[in-house]
Structure 1
């Protein structure tokens, strides 16, 4: 048979597949090379995985909500506003860039969460002129938002999981 990709197991239950090198340096930082960059699931200590395997306590979370079409709850409706921003970038709310497989996800999210996401995405695409410029700007901001949502202790993680960590 064919040889599989190298696998590495790290403390905290994180495993990496397909990495060419995993090394821990003196200060405890884990260096990973040969994996797709920008994937939130590859971060040690992350509350998210790539979703390739079902895990207890994890749920798919849309960073910009797709579930608030008409309700005024939490300052909505938010979905039409987010849909317009994503259309400017040639994407829809179910785009992979808008999804994280989050441990402890609990909705619906408070108005504070949606307001912050909308403010950041609106700012990200405010100056773009072309579809590709808008897409790049939106995707870059979604990556930043995803990192925060997936990092326990951050404001966005607390709002998305209704925790006080």
Structure 2
């Protein structure tokens, strides 16, 4: 799944949660994303900034659903997950025996393949500890880190009824 496909499938409440996090913890990323998205639509930033917050969020989500916003959309997801959801990322890396910095940022090479049994256990643990929609989002974004993703992870995302974005 590409970033724009994720945004087309995602629960809008999760996008609101992400945008709220940026406005509270990293306003520069929020402003930069807003500016980049406005430029991609050939709009002046002030046009978007004058909208009420609810309308800004709706406009951002609508724009992120576009294929041309894939790079910006993927970057936003990665930054939010890496900075705002470190415990979940670290738990996944630990369960999958992937080297990381203690905060879920991979320090070694990404695995060539994933063991299905280990993946099942990791997903069971994550779904038990975190919002399943957030877990699904993370796994979808993680699967983007390798061209074509991982077969076991792609299959898990397709078949596990707990792993839905909306």
Range into which the TM-score falls when normalised by the shorter chain: under 0.3
Q: Which has the larger radius of gyration?
A: 1
Q: Which has the higher strand share?
A: 1
Bigger RCO of structures 1 and 2 (CA < 8 A, at least 6 apart): 2
TM-score by length of 1: 0.26
Q: Which has the higher helix share?
A: 2
